[in-house]
Structure 1
């Protein structure tokens, strides 16, 4: 993962972030192309106005991103008071296995600690096997009672990393 920087997204990154996120979620079959969620994944401008978007950049190219959402904000699906949520983790195919996803998640965990959050939470899908393995390696634990289903009926798993 040499020469990869994690930083806040800038307006010049938004198109690349949207394209990467859609490519990962639709291209890998996590979301159907006709799903209304595709527009939400692509709309980085709206996301950036209501949440914090992080990017992993290598040679001025966005190779990963995720969205951090604080409880009570428009992009927080599951965060309760005291929890920092992240969503929409996407890593470019050429960067897989290089630690980019892990670095983005660790950045969120450190931000949560610095800001005094008690935990970090996320939602994952059954087919996101590699991501789930990474989350478990980082100490995230499934919270079955908080799981939920998409409008299409897909079961989602909530995972939580206690910080205190």
Structure 2
């Protein structure tokens, strides 16, 4: 099985990441509406290329992870938060999500963070198992925080020390 190449995103990744975001959108993991068609910018002022790691397999962009700050408070600057993770359908089950997650943990550590956190929907058992296998633990649950496809869904808060 080929090993994914993980690198920091560049401005040239905008179109590919936008396409990946549209193709992978699902209420299994997203609480926001689907990205608008035909095109909505992927990079934003508070979430640019430097905040993303991308995965490539055989030279094709197949995944990304977005790392940011949970708040803008100086007293919270020692924490990084995973603010998005997507893997293309054809790359699932090939270690891409795990490689991105590990790279994000290392990136946060290099930035001087002491903790890394994330939020995951309660019904997203695949993602929750991945996070748990990489040392994340449930630190809180907000019951029925979201209403998606006619169902109330928990928001699960997870974290781990670095």
For structure 1, list consecutive stretches of 5 or more residues without a partner in the other structure. none
- Residues 115 and 49 of structure 1: CA distance in aligned 2, closer, same or farther (over 3 Å): closer
Name stretches of at least 5 consecutive residues in structure 2 with no aligned partner: none
Shift of 1:15: 1.7
Aligned length: 153
User: Matched residues in 1 for 2:146 and 2:35: separation?
Assistant: 13
TM-score by length of structure 1 reads 0.78
Counterpart Cα distance in 2 of 1:31 and 1:48:
17
Choose 1 or 2 for highest CA Rg: 2
Give the CA deviation at 1:60.
2.5
- Among 109, 118, 135, the alignment partner of 2:114 is 118
- Native 8 Å contact 1:21 1:88 kept in 2: no
CA deviation string 1:86-109 (max 9, x = no partner)? 122001111111111011110111
Moved over 6 A (4+): none
Q: Greater share of helix residues, 1 or 2?
A: 1
Which structure shows the bigger proportion of residues in strand conformation? 2
TM-score (norm 2): 0.79
Q: 1:55 to 1:137 in 2, by over 3 A?
A: same
Secondary structure, in 3 states, of the residue corresponding to 1:44?
A: coil
